[in-house]
Amino acid sequence: MYKNVLDQYTLGKILLIISCFTSYNASAQLTFTGQLKIRGELRDGYGTLKPVGSNNAALISQRSRLTFNYKSSRLIFQTSLQDVRLWGQDASTITVNDGSRLSLHEAWAELILSNKNDTTFKISPVDYFAVKIGRQELVYDDERLLGNSDWLQQARRHDAIVFKLIQKGWQVDLGGAFNQSSDAINYNGTYYTPANVPATVKDSKGNIANTPAGFIPLLNAAGLSSKTGNPAFLNPPGTNGLNQNYKALQYLYVAKKFNKTKISGLFLADQFGKYKLDSVKNVSGTDEGYIYGNRFNQSGVNSRYTTGAMINPVFGSKDQWGVNGGFYYQGGNDKDGIKLSAYTYTIALLYRGSNISYTAGWDYLSGNDALSASKTNHRFDPLYGTPHKFWGYMDYFYAGSGSPTGGLSNPYLKLKYVSDNKLFSTEFAGHGFMLAQDQKGTDGQAIEKYLGTEFDLTTVYKLNKFTTVDLGLSYMAATRSMEYAKALTPGTSKLHPVWAYLQLNIKPEFLNK
């Protein structure tokens, strides 16, 4: 997590601007909302197996967010300021060294160029056409590949431009993004160092040093800079919440609802900066160590593409039955320049009664077969979605904690109850986790594919119109194969992790005019 302090002077100016908007244009729609999301967690094996002999941990995290939205016939404008921190991350009395910084989660404008539903437009060649530009969330379908990952306190956003078209029930979005980490003064070329790089690193002798500019450091299992590094660190399974952001991204999303069946298709291409292995000498006292890493100062990019479709038919006398199915293929080259050929598919059957709903499904994400001599990467990366929704609430897979080299096969069952007044709901989910492809053990033989079973119990109570209370408890019965999947030393981990949380989510509406 990163810390940002909202200074009172800047915040005061924002409130003044909002009040000016209110008095200037009473006909426009204005909303000003807040969010305070506080979550206490007990972690006893969250994200990965815990070493034998280690203790559990407790923490409280907080998201503070203010969102201003202005909407008129020709413009939608939204800004969302956000502060994310752990309780106690700052001392009770901070100094000027802590800084005073604002974090913008969103800052975008949607310019409406055509709208047949608005009589103020003299000419509207299409039902709706707009250009949305700036820092924004990209959320499509069930958020499997593109989502705001709202479970994370920091969430996810992109600096992008999106052309939005609606015509005769068709939705067509064409978007793009281009990332740069320097204003390129005195640069001969446009190079991009991915985000989430640690500010400091230990050199090969164990001395702490500043991370060299343009570097992603390579670390061995002991956390020291190394020529070879830790494979789990060197080659993370994807970009979703990990340490290599894209250089550029383009996508086309098309959707149409036919009666009660929605069909959508996605084509997305993302490119990653090329790099070379480099080293920097670090002198600390009498020690002379080296920092090894991937330096991102090479021309060209590694290009990847992902394409596929989803279908969501609903049927039954009261629309109580539904099917969710999808298939996506990934090709081109991965972020490290290796040839890529991977795929994923999902299928689920849903039944929704008056109070109780049932879901039975299966997700499959391809991986690399350790018994194969193929030099092609077959690990599917679920892009920039919301993995917390799909592969267990303990976030063992495709979240920031990584994913197995052998891919994932996940049959699951969910049972959800919602009270008549909609104030209370509870869900129980069970996941069976298996490797999609074979992996080798220390003896060179294939290990058992079954990784473990996870059970998630969550409860949500709506305290009032702006406050909800969430309670969750998760348990996993893992096998020794999970250690291989998480790149842990065999026989060193506890196989029954537990995780629990209590969350208070307060979302007041200060202004709605």
- Closest Cα to residue 343, out of 408, 272, 419, 417? 408
pLDDT value of position 215? 83
pLDDT value of position 180? 86
What's the rounded Cα separation, in Å, for the pair 152 and 149?
6
pLDDT value of position 2? 42
CA dihedral (410, 413, 419, 425) positive or negative: negative
Question: CATH assignment of 8-512?
Answer: 2.40.160.100
Query: Cα 229 to chain center, whole Å?
Result: 25
Residue 216 three-state SS = strand
Residues 234-256 pLDDT 10s: 444 455 545 568 999 999 999 99
What's the rounded Cα separation, in Å, for the pair 204 and 232?
18
Instruction: Assess contact for 180 and 192: CB atoms under 8 A.
Output: yes
Residues 82-121 pLDDT 10s: 999 899 887 776 666 665 556 889 999 999 999 999 989 9
Weakly modelled stretches of the chain, pLDDT under 70: 1-27, 93-102, 186-188, 195-196, 221, 229-244, 512-513
pTM for the full predicted model: 0.90
Query: Cα 407 to chain center, whole Å?
Result: 18
pLDDT value of position 232? 44
pLDDT value of position 191? 81
Residues 314-330 pLDDT 10s: 998 787 999 999 999 99
CB atoms under 10 Å from CB of 207, counted, come to 18
Q: What residue segments make up the domains of the chain, in order of their start?
A: 8-512
- Closest Cα to residue 203, out of 127, 137, 289? 289
Residue 9 three-state SS = helix
Residues 188-233 pLDDT 10s: 678 887 766 778 889 888 899 998 888 888 887 677 888 776 544 4
Characterize the bridge pairing of strands 57-71 and 29-44. Answer: antiparallel
CB atoms under 10 Å from CB of 16, counted, come to 10
